[in-house]
Structure 1
Amino acid sequence: MSEKLQKVLARAGHGSRREIESIIEAGRVSVDGKIAKLGDRVEVTPGLKIRIDGHLISVRESAEQICRVLAYYKPEGELCTRNDPEGRPTVFDRLPKLRGARWIAVGRLDVNTCGLLLFTTDGELANRLMHPSREVEREYAVRVFGQVDDAKLRDLSRGVQLEDGPAAFKTIKFSGGEGINQWYNVTLTEGRNREVRRLWEAVGVQVSRLIRVRYGDIPLPKGLPRGGWTELDLAQTNYLRELVELPPETSSKVAVEKRPSSHEGESDSSCGETSQSGERRSSFWRT
């Protein structure tokens, strides 16, 4: 059965659907020697030859794909890009190596923001989780510097005008602090660039610390060190898939080779559920 080319490539982990649509439109993808066009359909067969930038890539039939998801604790200072021309650290540097697929980031965090960043091998899952129409909640712990009164909190809840349109927090909850240094937990259902910081700035308050602590119902795992990762189990992976109306997986384990690292305590195990801290985890559902 034929499928849209961008769907086949996204499922195989060669990028999110949006990324793949862009490279197809740029003429960088060929199918059996012919430049592909957006909307082309292909049937995955043993003889199918798909190239990106001239490089032959691996694709498999839908039933052969295994969706994997990592939870990564992004530290401040890392970039959400695969390669940085200035050689600065990126969020991909410490992820486990894969055979025949690659990790796709579910959204982005700016260089000065830390916390939960999800990665998956399924480009369609990544695309749906990021898309604003799905309204997947993101929760952040925010330390702010400045006077915060009831009027400002009302504005942030009801909506303020940003340069790219109106925006508002779905929820705002005071979580500690005194004077002009206070902590709040806020939620959004979209992921515009620097949206949390820009919302606070719109009411005259600066953000001095920003941590993403939850994506959907997947929290930042307790005890996971900065720069560490852990693989979601089958139930958690299927929770995310159900959230965005994708069919469930029946398997979640694939052999993985960890990149050599000098990080103390990093495990040499090939099991995807072992983080860089060496801890074993099977579940970290929010309580």
Structure 2
Amino acid sequence: MNQKIQKLLSHLGYASRRGIEQMILEKEVSINGKTAIIGQRINLKHPGQIMIKGQIIPIKYQKYHTKVILYNKPEGEICTKKDQKNRNTVFNRLPLLDAYRWISVGRLDINTKGLLLFTNNGNLANQLMHPKNKIEREYYIRVFGYVNNKIINILQNGVKIKTGYAAFKSIESINTRIVSKNKWFKVVLCEGKNREIRHMWKQVKCQVNRLIRIRYGNIILPKTLQPGHWMQLNTILLKNLFKLASFQE
């Protein structure tokens, strides 16, 4: 079985397909000591020696199936594979893969908990994160500060943050009868920039002190899934997720 080099390395999780193509153009990928060419086909049973930036890439042949798992991230874990400060990382709790590696579909900061998706398919991860697909992310948020209808309208119409303008698709107040300076909201937005939600509320002089992601597209965080645990998506959920991301395996 043969496969194009950029598709193979993308499936292995080293970058998106376009990212691999850029690496090839910059002569960072080699096959048996020779610079790789975009579209070059690799025999999966006898791939030879493939290297990225001088690092040998292990290729183990097996029939490829796209997998997606849902992880309930606790607070205090980071979303990188390695950390110089030796902090806990979400990847330490994930199941091992024989030939591929898990790719995080976006990230949650160290103080955010809740739903995090992982896949072994780099192209799917890229499609799920791409702004053009406008896939919804839903969160529970606890906010400290004064919030009225005017503030909510401002956040839904859009506020300027460091990365540009950002707006919530919807904001729903929770437990409105409870009198407290801390208020809970359920919000939906269709992108996932770094600390975007916290920056948005900061622009209206409010502070987010709890942030929990409960949904990504059609995938909802099960109440029975404990923090630090994962579950694999079934065929029906996978098909619906593929459709949402305009993805074909």
Query: Could you tell me which residue of structure 2 aligns to residue 151 of structure 1?
Result: 150
Matches of 2:106 and 2:9 in 1, distance apart?
18
- Alpha carbons 1:2, 1:42 under 8 Å: kept: no
Partners of 1:54 and 1:153 in 2: how far apart?
50
Unaligned runs of 5+ in 2: none
Provide the residue aligned with 1:245 in structure 2: 246
- Corresponding position of 1:197: 198
Q: Report what 2:127 is aligned to.
A: 128
Work out the CA distance in 1 between the residues paired with 2:186 and 2:72.
Answer: 18
What is the number of residues matched between the two proteins? 244
**Aligned-partner Cα distance in 2 for 1:110–1:146:** 22
- Amino acid corresponding to residue 82 of structure 1 in structure 2: K
Contact 1:160 1:167 in 2 (8 A): yes
Q: Could you say if the C-alpha distance between residues 18 and 174 of structure 1 is closer, same or farther in structure 2, counting changes exceeding 3 Å?
A: farther
Distance 1:115 1:226 in 2: 8
Determine the C-alpha separation between the residues in 2 that align with 1:111 and 1:27.
35
Alignment of 1:84-163 (within 5 A): 84-163=83-162
CA distance in 1, matches of 2:89, 2:9: 24
**Distance of aligned partners of 1:208 and 1:123 in 2 relative to their CA distance in 1, 3 Å threshold:** same
Q: State the SS of the aligned residue for 2:197.
A: helix
Paired with 1:6 and 1:117, the residues of 2 have a C-alpha distance of 26
Q: Report if aligned partners of 1:115, 1:213 keep a CA contact under 8 Å in 2.
A: yes
The one-letter amino acid paired with 2:13 is: G
The alignment partner of 1:185 has SS state of strand
Asked if the contact 1:113–1:210 (Cα under 8 Å) also holds between the matched residues in 2, the reply is yes
Give secondary structure in 2 for the equivalent of 1:44.
strand
Deviation at 1:241, TM superposition (A): 1.1
Code of the aligned partner of 2:12: A
- Counterpart of 1:256? none
Distance 1:21 1:82 in 2: 23
Alpha-carbon distance between aligned partners in 2 of 1:134 and 1:3, rounded to the nearest angstrom? 27
1:89 deviation in Å? 0.5
Is 1:54 the counterpart of 2:58 in the alignment? no
Q: Deviations over 1:255-282 (max 9, x none)?
A: xxxxxxxxxxxxxxxxxxxxxxxxxxxx
For residues 203 and 7 of structure 1, the distance between their equivalents in structure 2, rounded to whole angstroms, comes to 44
Q: Could you say if the C-alpha distance between residues 238 and 60 of structure 1 is closer, same or farther in structure 2, counting changes exceeding 3 Å?
A: farther
* Distance in 2 between residues matched to 1:235 and 1:88, nearest whole Å: 35
Unaligned runs of 5+ in 1: 249-287
After TM superposition, give the deviation of residue 207 of structure 1 in Å. Answer: 0.3
What RMSD in Å do the two structures reach over aligned CA positions?
2.2
Partner of 1:284: none
Choose 25-34 or 214-223, whichever is displaced more: 25-34
Structure 2 counterpart SS, 1:224: coil
Q: Cα distance 1:227–1:23, how it changes in 2: closer, same or farther (>3 A)?
A: farther
Aligned counterparts of 1:151 and 1:75: Cα–Cα separation in 2: 33
Equivalence for 1:66: 65
Contact in 2 for aligned 1:79/1:90 (Cα 8 Å): yes
Ranked by relative contact order (alpha carbons within 8 Å, sequence separation 6 or more), the top structure is: 2
Give, in whole Å, the separation in 2 of the partners of 1:192 and 1:160. 14
Cα deviations across residues 218-270 of structure 1 (Å, max 9, x unaligned)? 0111211111101111111121111122236xxxxxxxxxxxxxxxxxxxxxx
Shift of 1:178: 2.9
Separation (CA, whole Å) in 2 of partners of 1:87 and 1:125: 29
For the pair 1:172 / 2:174, whether they are aligned, the reply is: no
Q: Which amino acid aligns with 1:141?
A: Y
Partner of 1:77: 76
Look up the match of 2:211.
Answer: 210
Name the amino acid aligned to 1:29: V
In structure 2, do the counterparts of structure 1 residues 95 and 209 end up closer, same or farther at CA, with 3 Å as the change threshold?
A: same
- Take 2:74 and 2:15, find their aligned partners in 1: how far apart are those partners? 23
Q: TM-score scaled to structure 1, two decimals?
A: 0.79
